[in-house]
Amino acid sequence: MRLILAPMHGLADHSLRNILTRLGGIDLCVAEFVRVTNHLLTDKTLLRTVPELAEGGCTRAGVPVRMQLLGSDPVCLAENAAFIAGLGAPGIDLNFGCPAPKVNFHGGGAVLLQHPEQIHAIVAAARRAVPKHIPVTAKMRLGLEDTSLTLDCARAIEAGGADEITVHARTRADRYRPPARWEWLARIRETVKLPVVANGEVWTPQDWENIRQVSGCDDVMIGRGAITRPDLMRRIKTGNEAMPWPELLLWVVDFYEQLCAKMDPRHAPGRLKQWLGMMYTAYPEAETLHRALRAERDPVMIGKILATVQA
């Protein structure tokens, strides 16, 4: 039974992966996607998105981070997958699920779910290009507008030689609206022989129990639930109660200090507020802190406010 941190563009970056994996309970991360167009990516581009490549392909806590690629050209994706594997990535994941209109307009992400034959070509090319000991996996949604091609897409991924498939149990048209269609995960498991990872609408330990029961999947990928409740994975693994806010606040401060050290400090306040805003539903204290910081843009002043709140 594995718990996997989902790739979330603009949310689960290197700094947050550092925090969440140190909190515990996460067995594997899939990084934010890197877009592949018509050229070979550079070390600089890859390290900007996945700095863990320079750290043995793992977070500070030792959790492996798979690289996710988004694109539609089998040849370019395969060439980049091979290059990334040579840099020491512990795995390559292929994105067939991103619902962003801009991404879909350019032929990437969920729009590929209309074309199972192209999905097969992409997976097969990447699998041929990457050494056998490095996993090549894929993440998909149930479809673009409907589920008419769901099983065909899953079969295409399997036939292409993928080692594993993660299924976000929604179509692109569903966006992120509940409920997720967990019953489709069971249908996909019955259709393909490769391991299926369940994903979608897991916010609590009880949701984790429920998605496993409905889907029959052992492994679960969690996205926004792990941002909202940063100790969710640890709670699932240990059965412990939720972390009290004063203890979690120490990790929030750690996160902010990392941001200030790694990026232009002017951008650090925005990322901090974004995370606090997502923790509202689980921690009322996060909303209080967010209100205190909302109008403040000076990184130094925000650091002082955090220090005061800790005291």
Structural domains of the chain ordered from first start: 3-238 (3.20.20.70), 245-310 (no CATH)
Q: How confident is the model at residue 133 (pLDDT cuts 50, 70, 90)?
A: very high
Q: Which residues fall within 8 angstroms of residue 144, CB to CB, at 6 or more apart?
A: 110, 111, 113, 114, 171, 172, 173
- Return the structure tokens found at 70: 């988004």
- Return the structure tokens found at 131: 């050494």
Rounded average pLDDT over 297-302: 91
Q: Whose CA is closest to 215, among 143, 163, 165, 162?
A: 165
Q: Which backbone phi and psi does 121 adopt, to 5 degrees?
A: -65, -40
Please answer whether residues 272 and 256 qualify as being in contact, where contact means their C-beta atoms are separated by less than 8 angstroms: yes
Alpha carbon distance, N-terminus to C-terminus of the chain:
39
The residues carrying an active-site annotation are 98
pLDDT of residue 263: 87
In tens, the pLDDT along 250-292 reads 999 999 999 999 888 888 999 999 999 999 999 999 999 999 9
pLDDT at 311 over 80: no
In tens, the pLDDT along 157-201 reads 999 999 999 999 999 999 999 999 999 999 999 999 999 999 999
pLDDT at 117 over 80: yes
49: helix, strand or coil: helix
How many CA atoms, within 13 angstroms, populate the side-chain half-sphere of residue 307? 7
Residue 58 neighbours by CB distance under 10 Å: 16
This model's pTM is above 0.85: yes
In tens, the pLDDT along 211-249 reads 999 999 999 999 999 999 999 999 999 999 999 999 999
In tens, the pLDDT along 24-77 reads 999 999 999 999 988 999 999 999 989 999 999 999 999 999 999 999 999 999
